[in-house]
Amino acid sequence: MVPLFNQTRTGIANRKFHEIRDYLERLFEPGFLAERLGRRIGPYLSWFNVGPILWLLGVRPIEDSPLHRPLRSWGYFVYRYFGDQPLREVIDPAALPDSVATQGLFLHHLWSRRTFSWSSRRLSVRALLEPYRDWAKTQLRQHVEDQLGLLVEAMRKGYAVYTTPEGRITEDGRMTRFRASWHAVASAEPSAVRVLATTYDAFVPGRLRMWTVLEKPRRPDRLDLSVSMARPITASHVAAQVWKTQLAPHGQLLSDALTVYQALPPTAVLAEDLRRQPSRILKDRLDFLWTKTSAGKSGVTDRRFPGVNDLVNYYQNQMDEILTDLR
C-alpha cells in the first residue's frame, strides 16, 4: 500500500499525511485480523480491531460487500448504532449453528474466543431479524455514500487519494468489475486522476516480482480501459503465451517467445528486465515453467495466488486482454 509505506517512513507522530487510501471495511472491524492469524493464535485476538491504527495511517474504510459478509460483521454493524443487544434479538436462529447455545449471548460475543469457530460464516442480510434487517438495507446505502463523500472531500482538499478500482482479486487474470468508489472519486476531479496499473512476474524463483506503472488515463472516457492498457507485460506473460500445449521442443520455445516479444505493439508497457534483456529473461521463465511442469502436474499453481488454478492460463488471459484493449 503506497501511502502506508510513505507515512510509516515519515512517522505517525506528525499526523501531517497528505495521502488517503481506501480499503475494505472488514479491516476496521474486530475479528478480521484474528481470522487471518488462524485457529492457533486467532481466538486470543478476536476482540482486537486494527481499524483505529489504520485510520491514523491514512487508510479509510470502503464497503465492498454490503449485503454479504461474516456474521460477526453484521453483529458489529448493528452494535455500532444500537449498542450491545441480545444476540437472539438481532440474529436469526437459522443463521447460527445448531449446536450453539445462544442464551445469554450478546452482540459483543461475536468477536470473542467463545464464538471464533463460527462467527466468520459469510451470510446475507437475511441473517438479521426484523426490524434490523430492513434498517440495515436502508442504512447501508447511506453508509456507503458517506464513505465515498469522505474520499471525494479529501481529494478536493488536495490529498492524494488511492482507491482500488476492482472489488476483488482476479482468479483468471482478467480485470473484474470496478467499484463505485473509483467512479465517485474519479468523476469529482477528472483532470487529477492517474491510473496505477500492476502486474506480477511469478515464473521466477524467490520473492514475487511486481511491476507497476503510474500514468495519465489514455482513455479518460473509459477509465477501465485506461487501467487495462497500462498494465505492464512481463516475461511471465510472454512465456505463458508460447507454453500453451507444450508441443514444441524446449529449445524451440525460446525462439517462439522472442517472436511474440518482438511482435508486441509499441504502445504496450514492458517490464524493464524484459525490455533490456529479453533473451536471458525469457529463457529463465521458460526454464522455470519446464521445471514446474516436468513432474506431470496439470497446472502451474502458486500459494501467493489463491484461487488461481493455472497460472499459465491466468497469464494468457491477462495478456490477451491487454493486447485487445491496446488495439
pLDDT confidence band for 178 (50 / 70 / 90):
confident
Q: Hey, is 271 helix, strand or coil?
A: coil
Provide the percentage of residues in the chain whose pLDDT is more than 70: 90
The Cα angle at residue 140 between residues 139 and 142, in degrees rounded to 5? 65
- Cα distance between residue 320 and residue 241, in whole Å: 9
- Cα distance between residue 91 and residue 112, in whole Å: 16
- Across 21-48, average pLDDT: 88
Query: What is the residue-wise DSSP string for 90-144?
Result: HB-GGGS-TT---TT-BGGGGGSGGGTTTTT-EEEGGGBPTTHHHHHHHHHHHHH
The pTM of this model reads 0.74
pLDDT confidence band for 295 (50 / 70 / 90):
low
Q: What is the largest CA-CA distance in the chain?
A: 70
Instruction: Count Cβ atoms within 10 A of the Cβ of residue 60 and give its class: 0-12 exposed, 13-18 middle, 19 or more buried.
Output: buried
Buried b / exposed e over 254-292, threshold 16 CB at 10 Å, is: bebbbebbeebeeebbbbebbeeebeebbbbbbbbbeeb
Radius of gyration of the chain (CA): 23
Question: If you average pLDDT over every residue of the chain, what do you get?
Answer: 86
User: Which has the closest alpha carbon to 30: 100, 84, 136, 108?
Assistant: 108
Q: Specify whether the backbone of 7 is left (phi greater than 0), alpha (psi in -120 to 50) or beta.
A: alpha
pLDDT confidence band for 28 (50 / 70 / 90):
very high
Q: Hey, is 292 helix, strand or coil?
A: helix
pLDDT digits (tens, 9 = 90+) for 89-135: 999 988 888 767 777 899 999 999 988 889 999 999 999 999 999 99
**How many whole angstroms from its chain centre is CA 192?**
23
Q: Judge contact between 71 and 135, C-beta under 8 A.
A: no
Specify the pLDDT at position 65.
81
Q: Judge contact between 163 and 59, C-beta under 8 A.
A: no
Specify the pLDDT at position 12.
39
Sequence-distant (6+) residues with CB within 8 A of 130 are: none
Q: Where are the domains of the chain?
A: 2-154, 194-326
Q: At residue 318, does pLDDT exceed 60?
A: yes
pLDDT digits (tens, 9 = 90+) for 259-282: 999 999 999 999 999 999 999 999
Query: What is the residue-wise DSSP string for 22-46?
Result: EEEGGGGSTTHHHHHHHHHHGGGGT
Specify the pLDDT at position 323.
97
pLDDT digits (tens, 9 = 90+) for 161-174: 888 777 677 889 99
